[in-house]
Structure 1
């Protein structure tokens, strides 16, 4: 009889136990559980079937916890200390100069533990071990095989010759002690084969006390009797008979799979199910399902947890180390200061104000690194104090020195304390657990005297964070996220198996880069087939114990077919039924929210908002005026709603930087030499070259590529001097540079700006010059359409100048003026009149349409706001 059609497995165990040991006192019995989730239902059935009012329960435990009570005569060396020793051995040998030695050491340590666990003893002679490998590989002697044999052989004997007891050996020693002291009747719950040490333990234990095995594989096949373990009665495995409400949902992509899982879980909750397991094979889909459930205010109890490397508490830690090692790259610093864990001992408003000021200053001054540069820019006490704390914390981590791992961890704690991070961690469950981990690592490695560089220690720390998991135990929910191995002997109201495609079930179970399956089998190590069998046994047990199971997978992924797990595909064939779930897909389609035709998202018309008069600015610059003419809607978003983005910090030099340097050079040059005529040409060239070298010297300190722009400017210096001397011959003389002006357009609007340069003549006539690092043709194109570019006309009006011209500084052969064909005084008057009329209309409610030409839209930061791609296509 299939298990689900008969008594529950807990009933079978309880009946057998009560037959063997009449109640009420069962304290002398030990029951080994696969996990503690099994304890409650088993105890409930024991109490219900015992027929007594008070029952003294047996000892319910797991292998791991049972052996912990066995004392050892010698101390156990931690895995972290063994890993450090193995790393040192690899570094000393120099076998893998370009490899990640920490990852390699971790994999070798796993191999060493496997050899110990399986009681494998390698030959003492390296040649004999090499011959053993040659036979297993069925290959002739070659350099690669010799190297593999040498590495494993030397490291194995170096590690095993130590008198220290490692974790695996300690576990085996405790098991042996328990078996030698066996007296209590033992009941064991299994779903798959035990490891070699545990199997040997049961065999030895059975020689001294009764051992009964409840193998779920056997129970599920219909044999409801417990097996008595003996050499004449080995355990056997039977084929599973599926007796569940089982169905499959093929999804079209990740999002549909996540939505289907979310919908089905909510349907189960509405149906009254109070124990729902989501067994995630694909963690990416699981994260999306969790987000959808939490959006519906359904909390999730996560038994799988998250590695510390993925948590915010570790992100702030690693970002800090990146900032210290990367000379305080601005993005690392900004990300760090935006973390709520940094400066947690200060009011949050102070931290937010400091990081806002720093970001604004960095983008405004285009500074991308170096804490000293940040401190030079600081304007407020809050920012200066924050940067000082960063500096003091960084001094605790001298990146150019070497310390022990414990020494680095101590300095890390001091550094984080200076930043207020420890205060923030203490207020967070994951932070408190990470603090405990750091303390444990310091204690475990206290006796290790090996010294490591900052980079080596940082890679070690990153690996440790990736190997340790945080589980939030504060959430209790009917919805449990778990993994397949954690479902052993557990029953749920409903189970959702997520991401069961061929890539994820059984998944990658390879043994790593050391030895293939043939060699592992020859050495007595577990092979891939055994690991696959264990996963398969867990899946069979889950399906046997649970009556309602839905399996999901992405039938298509990135437009390509994606196969179901071969195990589940075989199940479909055996049952001669496609098993496809038919209700979810229509529900998902009906559940999609379709915007109404009047919704802004469906609007296929050009946005053209009207700005409230109180929001209209009272000042406008020539660049803002240009934006208004290029696209009114862009002006509305940037200058009226003030949604303009902060400038990006440019890490690579470009033409904008070149223009800034040229402006500074010419301002300083004419400040020293306002009149060139009559001075020796050699002296003028020397002055211009000196100033240019001084300006570019600062630029080169930040970026070596500034040399290229410097050479470009050097090629144009002679042409510039020729142009300036010609200006003076024509009566124009330098008067001012970088001077601010403003002009009242009407009672409610000022036109303001800063001129690059102003020249005058003897009769008082003025001319505006605007330096442009563009060629003549580009500038001529700007002025081709009358009134299209407002910059020169606006500058002329503000300074009351009769002329205004662009100065093209992009051609080393000549420097030329580019000016409008129209009379500048007439153009300036028309320009002001138009601006006055536009703002008069805007105050009256005229709209600002998104009617900019494609060229204006090309680099517009507001294109996502106006959604031109939607309505322009229509």
Structure 2
């Protein structure tokens, strides 16, 4: 017999003594939950020692109350919420407040105030009298402003003719108490709330009430085992390991009381990896489920004018366009993503539709988005029910409703939307789109989904649900001082001071109830493991004070701190059996001759010199990162615009000499504004980049005038070239060519400081750009032009340019020949080259042996 057996046997003996077997139908037993019914029924069978027994009525208080039918119309919580929100919105006190969260918190307080009435009202008239009596009594009380506000609003909300759930529940209990005609036995583990106590008091006036309080039944509290983890991962692994050990030992009813839900999620993943399914009695709010995520993505896309990231997140949801095959959806999304990255369009559904062009499959999806968006008119005000109808219609257009119908949680979500729409059909209040969206988010955060498809002997539950429940084994997960006792489900508006002033339960009473529940759990179960993190985020973590007291008492009495003796060894053994991947080594791949590129750009050649493996990853494996959709102007865009400005300027003014300096600067400004025009429209930061360029105009014109004084004349810009070397074609584009009689000079504009450029040219052959340009035009004059910080300077290599050009060409030919011959391409870039290299995650530098 389990440790809980004697408790139920004592209860059964008391009942059988007063009510002889075999017929116990004249008795009602009030249970904290239906899980206690089976062990109690088994105890009654053992005590009666009869082959058959007519069991008593065993019921929870809430289920018993629901059996009482009342003719009173009941207003739904969604209707109460809308009514209260409209009252708060009219008040000038709360203009900057989050009214929906305040509404939710006030409704909870109103229900508690209703339950705190000193009598159980049997009908609407007696309820109204009790409310008025309480109101008159409190009018003369000194209440703080917040408490008075709550009380006045509660009184006003009770003036309606319709009853809320709290009022109906009170009347149902009053009817049960008045009709009491049979003895009542009650299983108790912690303090009642005021309403439950009044019901028992009134019931006792008509029939006998016997309470079995677990706290006073001379319960022997056993000391559980303790496991102090050094990290979240270790705690989750140890907990999962213990559950598997219990299952291997034949234990079948295993409870996981999860105080820390983060650890619980990780533990669940580990158990499912080990093919151990876990039922969840606590459930998850809809706001945390993927079925609600698709709603959020849809409404966010709509509100952000289909910002490209929001749109792609929406289209990648498995619930949208469920009438299409997965491959059709993926293909269309891929097409859109490629177009967005190529064209750089940030937002705007109409722009995306124009961009789609003749991509029929993609265009059809975007048109459906436009049709759905038209149903949700953001600029209009609607009722909550009107917004919900529009939402449901848009979900049908997008095929989201069909996708949700294929998921159990999705079906429950659709049912909730239909229920709220029906409940709010009579509400005439009008709401902006943003107000309705906040309301919807709150509704999703208050509705709980429980997965009934998993039938497992291992279950997540919460502490209050363990009252009078015996298990084969119990795991108390995440029992550090921050999670046990857990914080009361209070709010941010009305604290314990307000609750105390209104004679409602406080954080202290909430903690006391958890303490009683914990002791009751330990009294009924002797196979218990407690886990917590003794090291958390670099700080020392404390065990829950409730459990620390038990542990200290056991150590004083027995000299043993009850640390779990075997789990660490089990985890170590598990680690020993894991397959360890070999540590990364410096990669140095070779390439088949036919895979060696026949054409090489200047940038590819620079990459080859900086790091052969980088060249291999970028230009042979083609692992280049996808271009991001540009949302803000970057230094690269600034440089490209400067190149375009100077090209246009010099094509118009081949020489600045002979022109007025002010005229030249004005012309350069006009061209600059024209080139920057599109950027100025889409990004305010473009003005800062343009101002940065304006600072350099006088210096640039002075530099150009000096060049002309030295005899140099502008020849051409953006000059493309292609050189056939021995087995490889070198391609590139030169920013600018100047000529002086028969001489040619190659110039490359850089929006960088001259010191940075001098550093690039310090080692001959490290930067190949100027050398390759010089080789292409058979010149020994090549320079960078530094345009930065209001200064313009020419930066030339310190070494002989003609020689550098020849050596660079020969090196490229030799390297490509060796590559075709099977030479390795090692990852040997210096730290500076690796700092911003996007291939670092491929070569795994930093993890090499």
CA shift digits 1:120-166 (9 cap, x unpaired): 667889997476235xxxxxxxxxx3x32542243122112222201
Could you say which residue in structure 2 is the equivalent of 1:96?
94
Could you say which residue in structure 2 is the equivalent of 1:546?
525
Could you say which residue in structure 1 is the equivalent of 2:606?
626
Separation in 2, partners of 1:150, 1:523: 9
Could you say which residue in structure 2 is the equivalent of 1:850?
827
Q: Cα–Cα, structure 1 residues 126 and 525, in superposed 2: closer, same or farther, change >3 Å?
A: closer
- Structure 1 residue aligned with 2:167, among 166, 169, 178? 169
CA shift digits 1:73-129 (9 cap, x unpaired): 221111122122222222211212322221122212111111101116678899974
Separation in 2, partners of 1:675, 1:391: 53
- The yes-or-no answer on 1:862 pairing with 2:831 is no
- The yes-or-no answer on 1:564 pairing with 2:563 is no
Contact 2:608/2:615 (<8 A) preserved? yes
Q: Cα–Cα, structure 1 residues 365 and 660, in superposed 2: closer, same or farther, change >3 Å?
A: farther
Quick check: 782-791 or 204-213, which moved more?
204-213
- Structure 2 residue aligned with 1:785, among 763, 768, 771? 763
Question: 1:54, CA displacement in angstroms?
Answer: 6.1
Could you say which residue in structure 1 is the equivalent of 2:232?
254
- The yes-or-no answer on 1:322 pairing with 2:300 is yes
Q: Cα–Cα, structure 1 residues 130 and 67, in superposed 2: closer, same or farther, change >3 Å?
A: closer
- The yes-or-no answer on 1:422 pairing with 2:401 is yes
Could you say which residue in structure 2 is the equivalent of 1:233?
none
- The yes-or-no answer on 1:600 pairing with 2:582 is yes
Could you say which residue in structure 2 is the equivalent of 1:133?
142
CA shift digits 1:177-197 (9 cap, x unpaired): 233333455443332233333
Could you say which residue in structure 2 is the equivalent of 1:158?
156
Contact 2:147/2:498 (<8 A) preserved? no
Question: 1:595, CA displacement in angstroms?
Answer: 8.5
- Structure 2 residue aligned with 1:340, among 310, 318, 321? 318
Contact 1:733/1:761 (<8 A) preserved? no
Contact 2:135/2:155 (<8 A) preserved? no
Separation in 2, partners of 1:616, 1:280: 58
Separation in 1, partners of 2:335, 2:739: 40
Question: 1:169, CA displacement in angstroms?
Answer: 0.4
Could you say which residue in structure 1 is the equivalent of 2:413?
434
CA shift digits 1:690-712 (9 cap, x unpaired): 33222322112222121121122
How do 1:590-669 residues align onto structure 2 when only pairs under 5 Å count? 590-593=573-576, 600-601=582-583, 606-669=586-649
- Structure 2 residue aligned with 1:498, among 460, 471, 477? 477
Could you say which residue in structure 1 is the equivalent of 2:434?
455
Could you say which residue in structure 2 is the equivalent of 1:507?
486
Quick check: 702-711 or 64-73, which moved more?
64-73
How do 1:583-594 residues align onto structure 2 when only pairs under 5 Å count? 583-593=566-576
- Structure 2 residue aligned with 1:354, among 332, 357, 370? 332
Separation in 2, partners of 1:522, 1:666: 75
- Structure 2 residue aligned with 1:833, among 806, 810, 817? 810
Q: Cα–Cα, structure 1 residues 531 and 776, in superposed 2: closer, same or farther, change >3 Å?
A: closer
Question: 1:808, CA displacement in angstroms?
Answer: 2.7
Equivalent residue of 1:481, what SS? strand
Q: Cα–Cα, structure 1 residues 792 and 6, in superposed 2: closer, same or farther, change >3 Å?
A: closer
Separation in 2, partners of 1:128, 1:21: 46
Contact 1:404/1:451 (<8 A) preserved? yes
Could you say which residue in structure 2 is the equivalent of 1:808?
786
Contact 1:675/1:734 (<8 A) preserved? no
Separation in 1, partners of 2:403, 2:301: 19
Contact 1:248/1:579 (<8 A) preserved? yes
- Structure 1 residue aligned with 2:199, among 189, 198, 201? 201
Separation in 1, partners of 2:619, 2:47: 78
Separation in 1, partners of 2:426, 2:661: 74
Q: Cα–Cα, structure 1 residues 817 and 358, in superposed 2: closer, same or farther, change >3 Å?
A: farther
Separation in 2, partners of 1:365, 1:593: 52
Could you say which residue in structure 2 is the equivalent of 1:699?
679
Could you say which residue in structure 2 is the equivalent of 1:773?
751
Q: Cα–Cα, structure 1 residues 528 and 824, in superposed 2: closer, same or farther, change >3 Å?
A: closer
Equivalent residue of 2:626, what SS? coil
Separation in 1, partners of 2:478, 2:491: 24
Q: Cα–Cα, structure 1 residues 341 and 769, in superposed 2: closer, same or farther, change >3 Å?
A: farther
Separation in 1, partners of 2:640, 2:531: 59
Equivalent residue of 1:809, what SS? strand
Contact 1:402/1:452 (<8 A) preserved? yes
Q: Cα–Cα, structure 1 residues 705 and 182, in superposed 2: closer, same or farther, change >3 Å?
A: same
Question: 1:847, CA displacement in angstroms?
Answer: 1.9
Could you say which residue in structure 2 is the equivalent of 1:528?
507
Contact 2:700/2:791 (<8 A) preserved? no
Contact 1:190/1:215 (<8 A) preserved? yes
Contact 1:133/1:149 (<8 A) preserved? no
Separation in 2, partners of 1:596, 1:532: 46
Question: 1:721, CA displacement in angstroms?
Answer: 4.9
Separation in 2, partners of 1:427, 1:317: 16
Equivalent residue of 1:133, what SS? coil
- Structure 1 residue aligned with 2:188, among 184, 187, 190? 190
Quick check: 203-212 or 252-261, which moved more?
203-212
Q: Cα–Cα, structure 1 residues 704 and 127, in superposed 2: closer, same or farther, change >3 Å?
A: farther
Q: Cα–Cα, structure 1 residues 478 and 758, in superposed 2: closer, same or farther, change >3 Å?
A: farther
Question: 1:322, CA displacement in angstroms?
Answer: 2.3
Say how many residue pairs are matched.
832
CA shift digits 1:267-308 (9 cap, x unpaired): 111112112111111111111211221222222111122221
Quick check: 260-269 or 32-41, which moved more?
32-41
Question: 1:573, CA displacement in angstroms?
Answer: 3.1
Question: 1:388, CA displacement in angstroms?
Answer: 3.0
Quick check: 853-862 or 150-159, which moved more?
150-159
Structure 1: state its 5+ residue gaps. 135-144, 222-239
Could you say which residue in structure 2 is the equivalent of 1:225?
none
Question: 1:350, CA displacement in angstroms?
Answer: 2.9
- Structure 2 residue aligned with 1:71, among 69, 72, 84? 69
Q: Cα–Cα, structure 1 residues 281 and 784, in superposed 2: closer, same or farther, change >3 Å?
A: same
Contact 2:384/2:436 (<8 A) preserved? yes
Question: 1:828, CA displacement in angstroms?
Answer: 3.5
Equivalent residue of 2:607, what SS? helix
Q: Cα–Cα, structure 1 residues 639 and 9, in superposed 2: closer, same or farther, change >3 Å?
A: farther
Separation in 2, partners of 1:529, 1:811: 64
Contact 1:416/1:422 (<8 A) preserved? yes
